[in-house]
Amino acid sequence: MTLLQALAAKPSGAPRVRITGIDDPVSKYARGDGLEAVGRRLAAISQKFNILVEFNPIPVFAPDVTLDMLGVRPGEALAVNFPLQLHHTPDESVDLNNPRDGLLRMIKSLNPKVVTLVEQESNTNTAAFLPRFSIDVTVPRDQKERINVEQHCLARDIVNVIACEGRERVERHELFGKWRSRFTMAGFRQCPLSSYVNSVIRNLLRCYSEHYTLVEMDGAMLLGWKDRALVSASAWH
């Protein structure tokens, strides 16, 4: 939303924006609506900020994405966003063809202006069974918000991490150091972080809890809870 709002406020006028949304074809039934909900939300933002937004939904598993599906047009400024999704793509430990690195190489071939990566700072990919799963209590067990998060966001992921192996285990998170190696091998270079953005995020976090932390390390932002890093965010080109 903040990106579209900034583009709409450009002195030269709002550009035409095309957004391609990719989500696995089963998410609609597992989480409700899926890409349809994204389309409705973008339509509302488009009207609110008076910016033309074209949405192209693609219900397909990430390893099956092809260049033809993306429909990139000559002269476009292309940005690619991986929001807590890239870990679903199998790697060399599951498939000798290594779809995870293959996807990154395909994206690099499009020569995007920027690629953003947000991932859980956890190793549930190659770690042994016992260290894969941990959860911390931050709200009472009977609180409605926590129940909703556990039922609709965490339950399926937890079951997959604990109970599945091989191709059936799609929750395969990796630590940022491993992601950095994958992006570097695919030909990407890290973009510098914005001190302004970091300060805005820190101020927002203070509104929720003093225990949230934001640390810059190895060119990435690490969002954490007390001494535990939870999520990494980085940008590449």
Residue at 144 is within a domain: no
Tell me which residue range forms the domain holding 180.
Answer: 61-127+168-236
Range with the lowest mean pLDDT among 25-39, 42-56, 126-140?
126-140
pLDDT > 50? residue 236: yes
DSSP letter assigned to residue 16: P
Residue 43 lies in a domain: no
Q: Name, in order, each residue with C-beta under 8 angstroms of 236's C-beta and a sequence gap of 6 or more.
A: 114, 115, 116, 117, 183, 188, 189, 190, 191
pLDDT at 131 over 70: no
pLDDT digits (tens, 9 = 90+) for 77-92: 999 999 998 998 989 9
With pLDDT > 90 as the criterion, what percentage of the chain qualifies? 51
- pLDDT of 137: 46
Give the residue carrying structure tokens 């000798």.
96
Residue 102's pLDDT is what?
Answer: 94
Tokens of 188: 């990407």
CB 46 within 8 A of CB 53: yes
How many structural domains is the chain composed of?
1
3-state secondary structure 53-99: EEEEEEECCHHHCCHHHHCCCCCCCCEEEEECCHHHCCCCCCCCCCH
**Are the beta carbons of 141 and 193 closer than 8 angstroms?**
no
220 in a domain, yes or no? yes
Residue 71 lies in a domain: yes
Encoding tokens for residue 31?
């989480």
In tens, the pLDDT along 43-56 reads 999 999 999 999 99
Does 77 map to a domain? yes
- Mean predicted lDDT score pLDDT of the chain: 87
* 70-125 pLDDT, tens digit each: 989 998 999 999 999 899 898 998 888 899 999 999 999 999 999 999 999 988 87
Domain assignment present for residue 95? The answer is yes
**pLDDT interval class at 147 (50, 70, 90):** confident
- What is the C-alpha to C-alpha distance for residues 91 and 173, in angstroms, rounded to an integer? 11
Residue 47 lies in a domain: no
DSSP string for 138-203: -S-TT-HHHHHHIIIIIHHHHHHHHH--GGG-------HHHHHHHHHHTT--BPPPPHHHHHHHHH
Is the residue at 156 inside a domain? Answer: no
Query: Burial level of 172, CB count in 10 A (0-12/13-18/19+)?
Result: buried
What is the residue whose two structure tokens read 């940008």?
Answer: 235
Token pair 């476009």 in the structure block, residue:
76
Look at residue 172 and tell me whether its pLDDT is greater than 80. Answer: yes
Average pLDDT over residues 167-175: 87
Of residues 194 and 115, more confidence is placed in: 115
